[in-house]
C-alpha cells in the first residue's frame, strides 16, 4: 500500500522501535530525497541557495568592516584573504560532516582559520568574519546547530585570545580558553537537547581538545604564516628585541655610537607608540634596527668616528650626502641577509622618508659647487615616506634624539620647543601624508617624547669632589653612641 507524506510530517517518533516496516519507510524516504536532488533543478536550487547565503554574509561583512574601519578602509586584498580563509574552512566543514562521525566535527579548523586571519589581516576583521559566518556554518552542519555555534564561539574569541601572545605558552593558554568556551557551548546545547550523557561527554571533550589543537597548530605554523603574508607577531618581535641578536652585537662592536643612538630611539619610539595605541613592540624593534645600514660605512658617521668630519672634507658634498643616504639601502640589504621580517624592513626603508641631508645641502649652497647645486635629489633620501604610524614614530624619535644631542642647557621649555618644531617641520614637508596618523596623535607623541628627553637630560646633583678629601663621619658615630 502506497503512503503519501508531506514536508514536515513525522516519519518516526523519537524513541520508537525501528522494525522492518519503519526501516523500509526510511529507506524509501532516502531514495526519494536522492532522486529529487539528483536532478539538475535540485542541484541548481541548492547551489543557488548556497550562493545567495554566501553573498548575503559577504555583503554584511563588507558593510561591517567599512563601518569598523571608518578612518582607514581595509585594503581589498585583505578582504580577499579573509574570503579565501573562511571559504576553505567551510569546505573543510562540509567534507568533515560528510565523511566523519559527529563528535569529530568539532575538529573543523574554524578557530585556527580565525587566528590565521587575525595574524595575516586584522584581529577585529577576523572576529567579525567569524561572527557573520554563523549562518553558513549552521547550513553546513545542519541539523547539529549546537556544534556550529560552538565552533563559531571559539572562532570569535580566538583572534583576541592570541592577539598579544608573547610566548608559546601564551598560545597554549589561548588554545585552552578557546577549547573551554567551545566545551561550555556544546555542553549547554546538549543539555537543552536532551542528548545522551555519554555522547555529550565525548563531544565536550572533543571541543576542549579542538581548542588545544588550535593553540598547538598556531605554534607550529606561525613562522610559515608570517613568511607567507609578510607580517610579524609579538612572539617574533620579542625574539628580535633580544640584545644578543647578531646584528645588534655587530653594531655594538663596529658602530658603538649608532648602537647607543638606536637604544635611545627605541626607548622613545616604544613609549610614544604606547601613548597612541600603536604597536609599541614593532616600533621598538624597528628603532633598534633602523640604522643597521651604518655598519657598512661606520667611519663616515660622526657618532662612530670623531674624525668623520675630516673624511668628509676630502669629498664633494654630493658624494658625502650619497654616503649618508646609502645607509638606508645598505640597511635593507643587511636586514634581508639576516631575515628580518617585512614590517621591520619597511621601517628601515621609511624612517628617513624623502627628507634632505640638510647639512651637506647647505654646505653645497654656500660653496657654490656647480655640480651639487642643480638638483636637490642628490641630497634627498629616495623614500618612501612612512606608511604606518610605527614608521612615523621612529622617524620622529630618530630626528629628536639626534637633535637633542646638540641642545645646550636643555630646559623643559627649550626641549618642548625643539621637539614641537621638529615634528611640525616633518608635517609641513609632507612626510606623514601617507600614513594614518592624526594631529591629536602627533600631540600625544610630542608630549611623551618631551617627557622622555627631559628625563634623559635632567640635571644631577653635584657630588663632593674626591680630591677634597674623605667625608668625616665622627659626628654620626657620636649620635649613634648617644642613642
For the stretch 436-459, pLDDT in tens is: 899 999 999 999 999 999 988 765
| Closest among 7, 14, 9, 12 to 25, alpha carbons compared | 12
Q: Among 229, 252, 270, where does a domain finish?
A: 229
Same domain for 219 and 260, yes or no, is: no
Same domain for 305 and 250, yes or no, is: yes
199 occurs within a structural domain? yes
* pLDDT bucket at 38, cuts 50 / 70 / 90: low
Same domain for 283 and 182, yes or no, is: no
Same domain for 269 and 126, yes or no, is: no
Same domain for 340 and 246, yes or no, is: yes
- On average, the pLDDT of the chain sits at 83
Q: Among 195, 229, 263, where does a domain finish?
A: 229
For the stretch 328-338, pLDDT in tens is: 999 999 999 99
User: Residue 266: which CATH number?
Assistant: 1.10.3210
Q: Residue 479: what pLDDT?
A: 39
478 occurs within a structural domain? no
Same domain for 285 and 205, yes or no, is: no
> How distant is the alpha carbon of residue 281 from its chain centre?
10
Q: Which residues contact 69 (CB under 8 A, 6 or more apart)?
A: 125
Global confidence as pTM = 0.76
For the stretch 192-231, pLDDT in tens is: 766 677 888 888 898 899 999 999 999 999 889 888 888 8
Same domain for 224 and 283, yes or no, is: no
Tell whether omega for the bond before 77 is within 30 degrees of 0, i.e. cis.
no
Total domains present in the chain: 2
Q: Which cell is 329 given?
A: 639601502
For the stretch 369-394, pLDDT in tens is: 555 455 788 899 998 999 999 999 99
Q: How far apart are CA 437 and CA 439, in angstroms?
A: 7
Same domain for 221 and 246, yes or no, is: no
Same domain for 366 and 267, yes or no, is: yes
Q: Which cell is 115 given?
A: 587566528
Q: Which domain holds residue 115?
A: 20-229
Q: SS3 for 299-314, per residue?
A: HHCCCCCCCHHHHHHC
Q: Residue 476: what pLDDT?
A: 40
Same domain for 411 and 278, yes or no, is: yes
Q: Among 229, 263, 289, where does a domain finish?
A: 229
For the stretch 116-158, pLDDT in tens is: 888 887 787 788 778 777 667 776 776 677 788 888 888 888 8
Same domain for 220 and 285, yes or no, is: no
**DSSP structure string for 292-353:** GGGGTTGGGSTTT-TTHHHHHHTS-HHHHHHHHHHHHHHHHHHHHHTT--HHHHHHHHHTTT
Q: Which residues pair with 380 in a beta bridge?
A: 356
Same domain for 194 and 259, yes or no, is: no
At residue 356, the 3 state secondary structure works out as strand
483 occurs within a structural domain? no
Amino acid at each position: 500500500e502506497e503512503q503519501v507524506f508531506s514536508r514536515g510530517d513525522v516519519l518516526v517518533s523519537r524513541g520508537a522501535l525501528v522494525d522492518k516496516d519503519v526501516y523500509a519507510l526510511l529507506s524509501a524516504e532516502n531514495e526519494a530525497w536522492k532522486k529529487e536532488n539528483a536532478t539538475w533543478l535540485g542541484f541548481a536550487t541548492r547551489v543557488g541557495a548556497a550562493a545567495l547565503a554566501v553573498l548575503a554574509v559577504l555583503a554584511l561583512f563588507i558593510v561591517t568592516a567599512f563601518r569598523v574601519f571608518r578612518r582607514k578602509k581595509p585594503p581589498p586584498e585583505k578582504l580577499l584573504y579573509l574570503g579565501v580563509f573562511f571559504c576553505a574552512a567551510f569546505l573543510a566543514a562540509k567534507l568533515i560532516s560528510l565523511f566523519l562521525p559527529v563528535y569529530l566535527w568539532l575538529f573543523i579548523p574554524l578557530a585556527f582559520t580565525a587566528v590565521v586571519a587575525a595574524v595575516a589581516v586584522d584581529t577585529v576583521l577576523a572576529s567579525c568574519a567569524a561572527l557573520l559566518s554563523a549562518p553558513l556554518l549552521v547550513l553546513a552542519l545542519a541539523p547539529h546547530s549546537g556544534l556550529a555555534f560552538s565552533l563559531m564561539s571559539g572562532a570569535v574569541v580566538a583572534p583576541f585570545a592570541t592577539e598579544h601572545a608573547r610566548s608559546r605558552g601564551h598560545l597554549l593558554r589561548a588554545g585552552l580558553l578557546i577549547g573551554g568556551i567551545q566545551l561550555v557551548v556544546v555542553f549547554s546545547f546538549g543539555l537543552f537537547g536532551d542528548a545522551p550523557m555519554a555522547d555529550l561527554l565525548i563531544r565536550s571533550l572533543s571541543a576542549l581538545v579542538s581548542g588545544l589543537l588550535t593553540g598547538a597548530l598556531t605554534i607550529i605554523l606561525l613562522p610559515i604564516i608570517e613568511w607567507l603574508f609578510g607580517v610579524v607577531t609579538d612572539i617574533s618581535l620579542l625574539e628580535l628585541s633580544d640584545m644578543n641578536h647578531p646584528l645588534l652585537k655587530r653594531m655594538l662592536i663596529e658602530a658603538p655610537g649608532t648602537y647607543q643612538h638606536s637604544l635611545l630611539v627605541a626607548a622613545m619610539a616604544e613609549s610614544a607608540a604606547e601613548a597612541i595605541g600603536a604597536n609599541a613592540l614593532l616600533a621598538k624593534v624597528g628603532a633598534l634596527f633602523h640604522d643597521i645600514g651604518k655598519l657598512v660605512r661606520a667611519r663616515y658617521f660622526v657618532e662612530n668616528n670623531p674624525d668623520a668630519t675630516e673624511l668628509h672634507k676630502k669629498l664633494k658634498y654630493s658624494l658625502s650626502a650619497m654616503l649618508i643616504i646609502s645607509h638606508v639601502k645598505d640597511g635593507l640589504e643587511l636586514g634581508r641577509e639576516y631575515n628580518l621580517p617585512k614590517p621591520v624592513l619597511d621601517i628601515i626603508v621609511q624612517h628617513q622618508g624623502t627628507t634632505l641631508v640638510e647639512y651637506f645641502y647647505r654646505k653645497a649652497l654656500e660653496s657654490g659647487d656647480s655640480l651639487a647645486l642643480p638638483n636637490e635629489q642628490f641630497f634627498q633620501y629616495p623614500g618612501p615616506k612612512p606608511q604606518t604610524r610605527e614608521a612615523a614614530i621612529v622617524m620622529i624619535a630618530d630626528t629628536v634624539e639626534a637633535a637633542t644631542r646638540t641642545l645646550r642647557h636643555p630646559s623643559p621649555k627649550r626641549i618642548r620647543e625643539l621637539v614641537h618644531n621638529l615634528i611640525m617641520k616633518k608635517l609641513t614637508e609632507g612626510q606623514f601624508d601617507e600614513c594614518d596618523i592624526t594631529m591629536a596623535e602627533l600631540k600625544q607623541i610630542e608630549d611623551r617624547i618631551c617627557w622622555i628627553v627631559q628625563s634623559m637630560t635632567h640635571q644631577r646633583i653635584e657630588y663632593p669632589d674626591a680630591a677634597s678629601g674623605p667625608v668625616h663621619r665622627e659626628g654620626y658615630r657620636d649620635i649613634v653612641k648617644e642613642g
